[in-house]
């Protein structure tokens, strides 16, 4: 692997501690970090290298998916880390940083390949990018890359402004916009599922698919992020990025041996085919919700407006469901239902593809069966399940066949994404075209929410969300799958439908 210096802005922060250090450590253990690797951590705090290294060590003990058993290995990992205090707005600090980087490069004989990872608030992105460019931190004798965390903008205009600013210092192919859902193994698998399986490929269109349901439900509430979340809501926090990325990954039809450019080109085509909503369409296709008090796992929990730091009359959305249409040759007429929310009954991210009934035959439901379904479990369980019908005692009976269940010892999203950024593979990062099209599609929803021209439905914490989201599907003759206990796949015998190969 190509030697590199990893320059981490926000090295003293929460994301670095919980995600970035553990990801780098697990890459190191798996032999997926370059032999010659240096990390320079940056923050305002006046830390020594030793203090920084011991913080990194502590974060590995607390957050790494692997238990730290080999102390020697961990020592050799943290020895690659150095710390320098830097104030983002102070240009002199970048000159000092350049010196530190060059000293380490010469000590370790590294070429000037530099990856700048911005694990700081979005208000700092443009200042950092321009200071990097102006201080000569990008060298003509090596490459430079910029990895940025979300949120990428607050709406369409601010995202465009941000991109314009960044592009003065970094070319598009040097910018890696993280969407951690794109790092999840099952989301990465979506590309292959259709491409590498002729059976699925043959069925993957409006000819056989009735509807697609994409759900990301969370049990957590707003936690300690009130200041951020109350201005953002589910639509910006999850829908504009993670949910639309999952839709793109499911709906693309890729040619064989596709390149990263093919993936991006086809994702862009999906976004271009999304039927736009006018502001006045929003109330017919979008459900906005906010949680009230309720109970989670038997414990009472507060409603959103009583959470610390949340405005008492907040109209912020903690839930959103929407019906989308992809108007292209493959998907015309197939509704995509998407929903995400906080303080829901379970933590689960999944995609359900519901197939149409057989032609010229009575409905399978009338005979005791159920529609054929393909369930793609993304998080926290990972797996694929196919629901078919069989006959038992003269009656149809749905059975669920577990096609794939991932082992627990698999890389986390951040490991996959950091590895790709280090090796220069942009496939699973959000290209500007996708981000812009996603903001464009979402903008009428933002406007309607801001103007309160759509109702804010309340739902009890611990429920499946507002009843109005059920009505969105019922109007088309469908319902959300796997919301009720008896439909749920439980790996167990009490499950009404469960039938599992090998169990």
Ligand X SMILES: NC(=O)C1=CN([C@@H]2O[C@H](COP(=O)(O)OP(=O)(O)OC[C@H]3O[C@@H](n4cnc5c(N)ncnc54)[C@H](OP(=O)(O)O)[C@@H]3O)[C@@H](O)[C@H]2O)C=CC1
**Residue 238 C-beta: closest distance to ligand LXAUTJHC, Å:** 6
Is 17 annotated in a binding site? The answer is yes
Q: Which is nearer to ligand LXAUTJHC, 186 or 212 (CB)?
A: 186
C-alpha gyration radius of the chain: 24
Residues 6 or more apart in contact with residue 253 via CB below 8 angstroms: 194, 204, 266, 330
Q: Residue 237 interacts with ligand LXAUTJHC (CB under 6 A)? A: yes
Q: Residue 231 interacts with ligand X (CB under 6 A)? A: no
Q: How many CB atoms lie within 10 A of CB 485?
A: 11
Query: Which of ligand X, ligand LXAUTJHC, none has residue 436 at its interface (CB below 5 to 8 Å by kind)?
Result: none
Question: Which of 463, 448, 438 lies closest to 319 in space, CA to CA?
Answer: 463
Per-residue x/- mask for ligand LXAUTJHC, residues 366 to 385, rule CB under 6 A? -------------x------
Cross-strand partners of 340? 216, 320
Cross-strand partners of 375? 352, 385
Alpha carbon distances (Å) from 239 to 68, 183, 296, 306: 36, 17, 23, 24
Residues 45 to 74: which contact ligand X by CB under 6 A?
A: 45
**Residue 159 C-beta: closest distance to ligand X, Å:** 14
Which of 2, 30, 44, 99 forms a contact with ligand X (CB under 6 A)? 44
Of the candidate spans 14-22, 69-77, 184-192, 466-474, the one that interacts with ligand X by CB under 6 A turns out to be 14-22
CA distance 158 to 439: 10
Q: Which is nearer to ligand X, 11 or 110 (CB)?
A: 11
Active-site residue, from 231, 242, 253, 503: 242
- Number of chain residues interacting with ligand X (CB under 6 A): 20
Task: Give me the DSSP letters along 382-400.
Answer: -EEEEEEEEEETTEEEEEE
**Residue 170 C-beta: closest distance to ligand X, Å:** 17
Instruction: Specify whether 242 is catalytic.
Output: yes
User: Phi, psi at residue 77, to the nearest 5°?
Assistant: -70, -50
**Residue 70 C-beta: closest distance to ligand X, Å:** 27
Residue number with the shortest CB distance to ligand LXAUTJHC? 237
The CA-CA-CA angle for residues 43, 19, 224, to 5°, reads 75
Q: How many CB atoms lie within 10 A of CB 156?
A: 19
Query: Which of ligand LXAUTJHC, ligand X, none has residue 349 at its interface (CB below 5 to 8 Å by kind)?
Result: ligand LXAUTJHC
The CA-CA-CA angle for residues 104, 117, 151, to 5°, reads 170
Sign of the alpha-carbon dihedral angle for 458, 459, 464, 466: negative
**Residue 367 C-beta: closest distance to ligand X, Å:** 48
Is 423 annotated in a binding site? The answer is no
Asked if residues 148 and 178 have their Cβ atoms less than 8 Å apart, the reply is yes
Residues that bind ligand LXAUTJHC (CB under 6 A): 216, 218, 237-238, 349, 379
Residues that bind ligand X (CB under 6 A): 10-16, 18, 43-45, 86-88, 119-122, 149-150
């Amino acid at each position: 692997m190509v030697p590199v210096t990893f320059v981490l802005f926000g090295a003293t922060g929460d994301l670095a501690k919980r995600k970035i250090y553990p990801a780098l450590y697990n890459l190191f253990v798996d032999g997926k970090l370059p032999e010659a690797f240096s990390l320079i951590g940056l923050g305002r705090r006046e830390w020594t290298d030793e203090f920084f290294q011991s913080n990194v060590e502590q974060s590995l003990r607390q957050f790494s998916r692997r238990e730290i058993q080999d102390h020697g290995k961990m020592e050799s990992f943290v020895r690659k880390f150095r710390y320098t205090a830097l104030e983002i707005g102070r240009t002199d600090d970048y000159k000092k940083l350049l010196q530190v980087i060059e000293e380490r490069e010469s000590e370790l004989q590294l070429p000037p390949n530099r990856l700048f990872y911005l694990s700081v608030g979005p208000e700092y992105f443009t200042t950092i990018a321009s200071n990097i460019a102006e201080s000569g931190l990008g060298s003509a004798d090596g490459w430079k890359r910029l990895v940025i965390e979300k949120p990428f903008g607050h709406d369409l205009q601010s995202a465009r402004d941000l991109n314009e600013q960044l592009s003065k210092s970094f070319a598009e192919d040097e910018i890696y916009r993280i969407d951690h859902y794109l790092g999840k193994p099952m989301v990465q698998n979506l590309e292959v599922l259709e491409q590498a399986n002729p059976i699925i490929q043959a069925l993957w269109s409006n000819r056989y698919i009735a509807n697609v349901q994409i759900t990301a439900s969370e049990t957590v509430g707003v936690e300690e992020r009130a200041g951020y979340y109350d201005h953002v809501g589910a639509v910006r926090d999850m829908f504009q990025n993670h949910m639309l990325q999952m839709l793109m990954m499911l709906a693309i039809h890729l040619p064989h041996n596709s390149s990263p450019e093919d993936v991006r080109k086809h994702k862009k085509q999906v976004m271009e085919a999304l039927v736009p909503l006018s502001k006045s369409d929003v109330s017919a296709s979008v459900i906005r919700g906010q949680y009230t008090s309720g109970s989670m796992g038997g414990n009472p929990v507060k409603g959103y407006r009583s959470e610390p730091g949340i405005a008492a009359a907040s109209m912020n959305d903690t839930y959103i469901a929407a019906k989308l249409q992809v108007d292209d040759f493959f998907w015309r007429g197939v509704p995509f239902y998407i929903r995400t929310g906080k303080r829901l009954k379970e933590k689960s991210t999944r995609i359900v593809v519901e197939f149409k009934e057989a032609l010229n035959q009575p409905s399978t439901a009338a005979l005791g069966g159920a529609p054929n379904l393909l369930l793609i479990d993304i998080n926290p369980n990972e797996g694929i399940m196919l629901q078919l019908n069989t006959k038992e005692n003269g009656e149809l009976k749905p059975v669920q066949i577990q096609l794939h269940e991932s082992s627990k010892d698999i890389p986390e999203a951040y490991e996959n994404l950091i590895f790709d950024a280090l090796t220069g593979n942009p496939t699973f990062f959000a290209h500007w075209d996708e981000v812009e099209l996603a903001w464009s599609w979402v903008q009428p929803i933002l406007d309607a929410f801001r103007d309160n021209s759509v109702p804010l439905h309340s739902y009890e914490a611990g429920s499946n969300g507002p009843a109005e989201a059920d009505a969105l599907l019922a109007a088309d003759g469908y319902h959300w799958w796997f919301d009720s206990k008896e439909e749920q796949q439980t790996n167990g015998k009490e499950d009404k439908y469960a039938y599992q190969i090998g169990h």
